[in-house]
Chains A and B, each alone.
Chain A
Amino acid sequence: MSEGHEPEKAEAKDELKAGPFGQFLEEHGIPSRRLPDSCGVETIELDGKHLEAAMKRLRNSHEIALNFLVSVAGVDSPETYDSVYHLWSYSNLNELVVKVRVPKASVPEDRLPLVPSLAPFWPAANWHERETYDLVGIRYVGHPYLRRILNPWDWEGHPLRRDYKQLVDALNDKNQFSMR
């Protein structure tokens, strides 16, 4: 996500002031941390254990009404695994980006990072979370059917990871006449 020149300014300040959505969550006793805006959209970071409560508040509140879950995405950052949620409100025509970041240092070897699932109370998240599991390898705890959705069931590894290495086989090897 391109953030322009804003991150540099943000780093100069120690802590960003909470935006309207951050203040709303704070009023309801849910701590959040504001991140530099992404494309002019307020971005907050949540702890995994507050995710479900925060999402329910944002969706069900009448004045906020962020009741459209646009996407659930995953990012393999250098230091963390991010699970990114985009919320949209059709009544207020505004947007919020929520991130849950799991530090790579806290994930044991041969295990996947754990993030609570939204699928039990927000069906739109079901396939998005399966896709993120498939490609980035984030395990959503509480998902009813966390299987691969895009790749074949016997795929090894998660293709959008930084350390992913594709096996060379008869379907993708290169011959000496190849221009690639």
Chain B
Amino acid sequence: MSETDAKIPSGASESVPVSIPEELKDTVTLTTLDKAIELLSSAVDPVANWARSNSVWPLTFGTSCCAIEMMCVGMSAFDISRFGSEVFRATPRQADLIITAGTITRKMAPALVTLYEQLPEPKYVIAMGACTVTGGMFNDSYSVVQGVDRLIPVDVYLPGCPPRPEGILDALLKLQQKIRTESLAERRKRAYRQRAVRYVDYDTGRPVEDLVAEARMETAEALAEATGYALDHQVRKV
């Protein structure tokens, strides 16, 4: 209990959890705010998680044949609405879950990451089908991302080519189980650090972060050459 609680930031303004070294853990005193949060979350979490797990609204996101099975599970024969997920939202702002139904190509990858970043927290991902789990039959393809977990964090892996609709229901039940058992602290610990704005260089079309990293690398190399001092580890950190 104390392990997870120690990582809760003390103020609401701090978004990055403070990591406390192993040997200092006994000496850390929780503030009253932390205690209040803990108390509140232990009281609210069961109810909130129950509500969340029974209304997981998926995003309408299908890129190939898995999407047919995803549509099938939405229809009356399999009827995903029995588990509270019948509302396939057309906008990521109103969805909780991405079922990545289909092959993700390198051209689609930025769009998928953008969609994922647009989902409000808490957000979940089911990697559906062999293509999104490992690349599947597009093993070593030049254009296919070899597993969607290289782009976004995945909660449930659902193999199959494509999986049966019952498989999707099973994955959803597993996800619901996960939602029911998680606490506020756990959710914060694995929170995805996203950028609200992505600055892109107008001339080259590349993200500005890459350009900055490149410039830093060049500067470090020039410094290393000028001073004759090996900056190897520092360069790698940049």
Contact = CB atoms under 8 A, between A and B. Distances in A.
Interface of A: 150-154, 159, 164, 166, 170-172, 178, 180
Interface string B86-112: 000000000000000000001101000
A85 to B, nearest CB: 25
B198 to A, nearest CB: 16
Given A171-B146, A171-B150, A152 B139 contact: no
Contact of B145 (A150, A153, A159, A172): A172
Contact of A172 (B107, B146, B151, B205): B146
A180 B107 contact: no
A127 B146 CA distance: 28
B142 A171 contact: no
Given A151-B107, A152-B106, A154-B205, A171 B145 contact: yes
Contacts, number: 27
Nearest to A153: B205
A166 B106 CA distance: 13
Contact of B143 (A151, A170, A178, A180): A151
Interface in B131-163: 134-135, 139-140, 142-143, 145-146, 150-151
Contact of A180 (B106, B140, B151): B140
Question: Which 6 A-B residue pairings sit nearest by Cβ, starting from the closest?
Answer: A159-B142, A171-B145, A172-B146, A152-B107, A166-B142, A171-B150
Nearest to A157: B142
Q: How large is the interface on B (under 10, 10 to 19, 20 to 34, 35 or more residues)?
A: 10 to 19
Contacts of B140: 172, 180
Interface of B: 106-107, 109, 134-135, 139-140, 142-143, 145-146, 150-151, 205
Contacts of B143: 150-151, 159
A171 B109 contact: yes
Contact of A170 (B107, B142, B150): B150
Contacts of A170: 150
A171 B36 CA distance: 43
9 contacts: A151-B143, A152-B107, A171-B106, A171-B145, A171-B151, A172-B135, A172-B145, A172-B146, A178-B134
Residue of B134, B135, B142, B145 with highest tally of chain A CB at under 10 A: B142
A108 B134 CA distance: 40
A166 B143 CA distance: 10
Nearest to B109: A171
Nearest to B107: A152
B142 A180 contact: no
Contacts of B151: 171
A153 B146 CA distance: 20
A151 B144 CA distance: 11
A153 B106 CA distance: 11
Contacts of B134: 178
